[in-house]
Structure 1
């Protein structure tokens, strides 16, 4: 029986009548991924860069998100054609490629996402979940319409090249990483980092390319949304769990000589 794949990240952005809201899953757990997918978020970003998840674990996480309305977006560990091929074959439709700082790096990411003659992705979909083992009709011919790419700007160089990156055909969105960007800028005052992020948002809007940003602090999320961000990512499963656990225990366990509430 033919299978129809879910809308991609790019599809969600195109059809949205408001900014999208995303959350991270970084626990490498289908259970926490499913909890995050059921949160009401539009996007669940699966972190393959800073979490221990591998290809085997990724497939289970994607399967856990699949029944929900949330769109899964997988961040690969690096702009590497082999890794991108494997993640796509595992069934990820929407990818974030980190540390893209130049137009040529963005073009390389696009090429890795697409089959020849549009790109260099290796053809093996009949063996893979990407095509649901050949249950998606004409997958190879239509795969470029079934996947989406966001590139992550996280450096001073990337900010300077934001307009050129946003103009690359096949880049469906730009995602700004303020933490690495702050490091690249030498950890200046937060206001300078926010200004750099807004400059990327403006460059993307000028090119017609949606721009989003990691913004765990509500004030930052509000600031970037007011500046025209198309999506914000506002929380992660591991940070929510850690903060909640510490708060629950800290109410009762003495700290620095203080007496807990019993």
Structure 2
């Protein structure tokens, strides 16, 4: 029996649209609700959200019971940390701040078992192998692991073509917020220079035959990125959705009830 099939990996390889939502509230209840909402993938964020390995595992478990696919973003692309997330059952990883082909090759090694890579062999202990219930896990795991690298500054953009030439990279995600800051437009991912850089990067990614991804809450820019060929697009963030609706709910209640009563 081989490793479980990764539908997200195969869908983006075909260029099929995969709609996603960022999960930053670091809670399995929120993850479960989100997994049943209709998104194709959910990003469990360990870079800018208060997630550790255990909280990530709890979210992987509830997402696995629904139709959405979990993508995990570790805080940094260290081999030892990648090993832990893979053994915990993450099949798709988004690695932040990738700036060179050498870094991309090291990430490919980190998700691949020897003799072709350096991933530690501990599948008997791992949730990924269903605790050794998948007999062919070691020989089939690499086929179903999806490695996404995040390019989000000028250095990464300068090395983008070399990164795209690295075998084993399934997709490249452009991070507009950090890119905006590096381009001198911090807090303004909608700046024309930033959008032009994103458009150019997505075009180069798609032309190289790799899957292209983006997170943007701008509906018109989402459509523009899709027209360029981006295949995995995150359109919402749980923190933003919750905070906005909580504030609006409180404001509506205050407007409705202020001045009433004794």
TM-score range, shorter chain: over 0.9
Equivalent positions of 1:92-241 (< 5 A) are 92-187=90-185, 190-241=191-242
Secondary structure of the corresponding residue to residue 111 of structure 1: helix
Give the Å deviation of 1:226: 2.0
Matched with 1:68 is 66
Matched with 1:41 is 39
- Could you list the runs of 5+ residues in structure 1 that have no partner in the other structure? none
Secondary structure of the corresponding residue to residue 253 of structure 2: coil
Contact 1:3 1:132 in 2 (8 A): no
Q: What TM-score comes out, normalization by structure 2 length? A: 0.92
Contact 1:10 1:173 in 2 (8 A): no
Query: How far apart are the structure 2 equivalents of 1:209 and 1:47?
Result: 23
CA RMSD of aligned residues (A): 1.8
Give the Å deviation of 1:260: 5.4
Contact 2:71 2:91 in 1 (8 A): yes
Runs of 4+ in 1 over 4 A off after TM superposition: 259-262
Query: How far apart are the structure 2 equivalents of 1:40 and 1:122?
Result: 35
Give the Å deviation of 1:24: 1.2
Q: 1:88-141 deviations in whole A, cap 9, x for unaligned? A: 011101000000011111111111111111111111010010111111121111
Give the Å deviation of 1:173: 0.5
Matched with 1:28 is 26
Contact 1:173 1:211 in 2 (8 A): yes
Query: How far apart are the structure 2 equivalents of 1:247 and 1:53?
Result: 27
Secondary structure of the corresponding residue to residue 136 of structure 1: coil
Secondary structure of the corresponding residue to residue 195 of structure 1: helix
Give the Å deviation of 1:59: 1.0
Aligned residues: 256
Q: 1:19-62 deviations in whole A, cap 9, x for unaligned? A: 21111111111111111111111111111111111111111100
Alignment equivalent of 1:86, drawn from 80, 84, 87: 84
CA distance 1:190–1:125, shift in 2 (3 Å): same
Secondary structure of the corresponding residue to residue 35 of structure 1: helix
Query: How far apart are the structure 1 equivalents of 2:81 and 2:14?
Result: 29
Query: How far apart are the structure 2 equivalents of 1:71 and 1:261?
Result: 48
Query: How far apart are the structure 2 equivalents of 1:111 and 1:31?
Result: 34
